[in-house]
Amino acid sequence: MQSIMKEISHVFESLKPTDPVVINMHQKPDPDAMGSALGLYHFIKKLGNPVVVISPTNWADFLKWMPGIEDVIDFESKGELARKYLSAAKWLFSLDYNHFNRTRYMEGVLIQMECKKVLIDHHREPQTECFDFGYSDITKSSTSEMIYDFIVLSGKKELIDQNIAACLYAGVMADTGSFRFSSTSPDTHKMIAELQAYDIDHPRIHSNVYDNFQENRLRFIGHVLLNRMEILYDHNAAIIAIPKADILKFHIKTGDTEGLVNYPLSIQGIEMAALLIDRDEERKWSFRSRETFDCNTFARKYFEGGGHFNASGGRSNLSVDENVKAFKKALIEFTSNNNNK
């Protein structure tokens, strides 16, 4: 393994038209992960390369409208087929994750692949030693915006079509919180204006992502906010801890908890929110914050995670109750240390 990734522009010098390409993203892909992957998929397909998208896991129903998603392979349910494409690949494009451990059971396979590996991602502290080429920029709004930059850099912007534009628009829209987060730059708005010129139905895209759930999800959210949310005013924080029993009772599927961690941030004075979900094999954390709380450092230090300054994730093998206790202890320590600096 080399220690320094080459600039992403060098990809165009090495990528041959006949080279098979695999695109993958992190497990349980969100709109940015899937949108960036499918946007790149349609572009590379237009270049003439054999290309396939492989997701480490299944994905939310609200993503099923995306052009090309019917061709995406789920590694967990179609492992044999996925491994066939992975073994034949000359190129691997890894999108919207900074470390192979974000790909769950694909991690070992991806590390062992001997093809050219390309990282395109906007999370902190990327695993650069594992990639031949890379574009890593934490100031970017989304990986979808970075795929747009990659296409422009290729000199083949004319290949962008309605399908590419719709996928990239959805990714940027979701990762910027409908363009309200601070990562939404002037360049982001310029990109969105250009994508809209491809006659994408942006109101419908927004509706597909945000207004496309079953009744049980709304009842689940009400139950969670009433019974599982604890406000820690002394630390300007909130925690929502969801046991497995709630997941089963309300028939919660992949994607149904999307955005739930943001609800406590609408409470006056709350600077940090945490969401804990009891999954089958482990407990999963999501952390969100306003301006000053460093979720990335907090997640890395206490919960085997990381991500962005204001949005990160983590994991733990402890029980839900043990995790809640660990969170409160960590929060006191972390805020105390930072307040004393």
CA distance 227 to 237: 17
- Interval 240-270: pLDDT, tens: 999 999 999 999 999 999 999 999 999 999 9
Contact 120, 14 (CB under 8 A): no
For 309-325, what is each residue's pLDDT tens digit? 999 999 999 999 999 99
Q: Where are the domains of the chain?
A: 6-210, 215-339
Question: 6-210, what's its fold?
Answer: inorganic pyrophosphatase (n-terminal core) (3.90.1640)
- Work out whether strand 21-25 and strand 229-232 pair parallel, antiparallel, or are unpaired: unpaired
User: Minimum mean pLDDT among 27-31, 180-184, 190-194, 246-250: which range?
Assistant: 180-184
Q: What is the pLDDT of residues 114-139, one digit of tens each?
A: 999 999 999 999 999 999 999 999 99
In the chain, DSSP finds a helix count (H) and a strand count (E) of: 12, 13
Q: What is the CATH number of domain 215-339?
A: 3.10.310.30
**pTM of the full structure:** 0.91
**Where would I find the H helices in the chain?**
11-14, 31-47, 79-88, 107-112, 143-154, 162-175, 186-196, 202-210, 215-227, 244-249, 295-302, 320-339
- Distance between CA 332 and CA 103 in Å, rounded? 31
CA of 32: how far to CAs of 37, 40, 95, 115, 193, in Å? Answer: 8, 12, 9, 25, 18
CA neighbor of 148 nearest in space, from 200, 187, 92: 187
CA angle 317, 102, 289 (to 5 degrees): 75
Q: How far is the C-alpha of 63 from the C-alpha of 34, rounded, in Å?
A: 8
Which of 2-6, 12-16, 75-79, 191-195 is predicted least confidently? Answer: 2-6
215-339 shares the fold of 6-210: no
